[in-house]
Structure 1
Amino acid sequence: MNLHLANPNLKDPEFYVPGLPVDWVTARYGIPADEVAKLGSAENPFGPSPKAMAAIRQEVEQIHLYASWTAEPLREALAERYGYNPENFVCGSGETEVIALIIRAYADPGGKVLMTRPCFPMYHLFAEAEDRRPVYINTPTMSCDVDAYIDAVEPDTRIVFITNPHSPSGTWLEEADVRRIVEAAPHALVALDEAYVHYSDTPGHIHLAKEYDNLIVLRTFSKAFGLAGLRLGFGVAHRDLIPPLLAVKPTWNVGRLQIVGGITALTDDEHVDRTVAAILEGRTHVRERFGELDRFRMVPGTRSNFMLIEILDPDTDSTKVFTGLLERGVIVKDGSLSFRGLGKRYLRSDINLPHRMDRLVDALADLP
């Protein structure tokens, strides 16, 4: 094997652990696909935006033509929607690509990249793959400790990642706290990840990119817009922060179908509103249902379409519970496998439609 050809930091790489697909559970356990509750990927329960689907179908006839290398029509639509100029935006094949671009463009090899522990795994996975140095702020209370963030910022910190709502806990940072962190790191790029902001019952903090020249706000089309399989996300920042990101991105990273799908999804407020209302209903419902359980606790404070489940029973752990749920046709995430530093006492589950939340609670109650 020619492993010596790879960069030294990639000879034993760690990989992202996504939620399992329905067909894997069907093949492994013989459970019909329509009886599996998929609660491990935070996907939209109503599927993609119907308007976006119609636009994508029409655009298929044009896929022999290259798209704008900067996704300019989408940048223009984003600018109109959020009150910026097109040059304030960078678009990626999923928000995860924008995260990778940030690490590549704004941290040199060995540069410090600050994040919570646990956090969205792609922060540290991309940092390590690029030979950057993840620096962790431990969050044992599953909420963001703003003072700990500020204390951890050092003169040689290159990037600061904030996830709001936080992943995997779903907890929320108010605007004043975000400002404190941004202002404590004037020499670093602060990346505010608002992938799940639609479920926070707030407009989010995207407007702050107008005020700070060291802040980029990230968003995705995968969640409330329902376009996870299309792969589309963006960042908005001071115009001077964008050219380095464009310089390191693949030239045609966003294709024609992604561009038209994103543009049209931005106009489909009805689909987004329906999705958010259903998730908020499911959140209230599952919170009430968890009161029936004595071996598991829904960790309070989530403002997202997922939640942490704490295992109170000392005689089991996250892997055993994860497997037991799979055997009952319920997919969640094993905290010990999916989130570095989360440990064996937690699972992460989507918050979804009430009947799927019933499947989760009933399956937990049925575990031996």
Structure 2
Amino acid sequence: MTEVDAVAFAADDVLGKQKHKRKQKVIETDIGGSTELSEPVPINTNEPVPYESELFKGTVHLHIRGLGNTHEGKFEGKKRFLHIAFQGRFKRDVKASDFWSGHEWFNVSDLVPTSVSDSGPAPCGPSSIRTAGCHTNELAGMGLDNTQASWRRNLTPHSSGGSTAKRFVNIGYTAAAKMFSSTTRVCPSTSNGQVAGFLNPVLASSQLVNVAVPGQEPTCNPMTAEKRRRWFDSPANAGSVVLSKDYVYTYHVWQHWCNISTYRLQLSSLLSLDLCQFSEGQPMQIMAKDQSVIEMQRLRFVAEELPASETGEYSINLLLWHKRLLFNDPPSEQHSLRGRLTNGVSSLRASWKGMLANK
């Protein structure tokens, strides 16, 4: 956790960071004048944010509903909780059938740096954000220190090894698979029961896509194309198309299931689930990557339980951390999962009875 992170978290509840592989050379970017990809990514800004990855160079717009700096007009009349748009050029050609997006289940310990104090190394929480060092005085700048910070990962039922979290992720991913595209891929589970990933072809799942020659790319939303989504949902069709490095690509993606401002899964207007109960400290991921390397190494990395993030090249890879991932809830809010679900179902039943009584 850096001082910049502390300021960002103090200003709002959600912090966005661009994740890069360990030991990867840091690519220069002009986000906030910094040359580190681990700097916080601005959220709900009017200006495009330049970024660069190993596969893609361009700009990103990230809008999240429910934050202090949210532009309400962006979400007016819409159900969505998140809207992201990225535009730019690939550094090499990529087969459309190999270009996937979704969420990967990370080993949180790989994302957690070491806190250095006078008494020696101590674990930082899963939301310490960056892959470099995390120091005690930096935590103290957020009102945290090693004695005050009660990290979820060590103290709550959804920590590593929690069977409830694993079952929820496996069942939830599988049940939701066909809602996104007919070719949705739920990656094989590792031997400890965790789903490795939930992926969709980018061109079959993005709401808006535009392809333009350099200099003619749109400055606003391109037209929607339901026909394009259906066509690229076929592996045979997607395999015949190459995303060329000679063109500028614009992608828009949004979703209305996960309320990132509260870190809850919104099942209906009356029922939501606390993602902190199931996420095992996982941040919310926004990514798109070339899967071709993974396809060649699938048997090897599943057998060796290598995380999906260790293979493939990303065009974008953002991790969104909520403050609620940092701490245990106050004792007054520490209800069991069964209690939360029971209360939600009871409220739903009461609402149904009320509606029937009014008819």
Interval of TM-score (by shorter of Structure 1 and Structure 2): under 0.3
Q: Which structure: greater strand fraction? A: 2
TM norm structure 1? 0.25
TM norm structure 2? 0.25
